[in-house]
Amino acid sequence: MSPEEPRRRPRRGAPARSAEPQGVDIPFTRKNYVIFGIAAVVILAGYIALSRGSITLAPILLLLGYLVLIPWGILAK
């Protein structure tokens, strides 16, 4: 080190950085994506039923897709 370059001290309390990130996990697994796919099919079926004039099946399918399957797909481990 030359005399012109100031010496850098590590910050107090800051962990030393490593070359590889530690503990990197993929947030969603295959199970999550399968549940999302099922949710997409159920929601699409709900909109198709809605376009055909169903006033009972369409809301059930849409609520099932949006309020049950999508949150389950996000929270499933």
Those residues of the chain that have pLDDT short of 70 are 1-3, 5-6, 9-11, 13-21
Q: Is 57 domain-assigned?
A: yes
What's the pLDDT at 73? 95
> What is the three-class DSSP state of 75?
helix
Q: How many domains does the chain have?
A: 1
Q: Write out the two tokens for 35.
A: 């549940």
Give the per-residue pLDDT at 68: 97
Which domain does 64 fall in, by range?
30-75
Per the domain annotation, does 10 fall within a domain?
Answer: no
Q: What is the pLDDT of residue 35?
A: 97
Is 7 a domain residue?
no
19, part of any domain:
no
Residue pair 45/57 in contact by the 8 Å Cβ criterion: no
In a domain, 41, yes or no: yes
The answer as to whether 49 is a domain residue is yes
Whether residue 22 lies inside any domain: the answer is no
Tell me, what's the pLDDT at 1?
59
Nearest to 62 by CA among 44, 35, 36, 38: 44
Listed in sequence order, the residues at least 6 apart from 49 whose beta carbon sits closer than 8 Å to its beta carbon are 57, 58, 61
> 63 lies in a domain?
yes
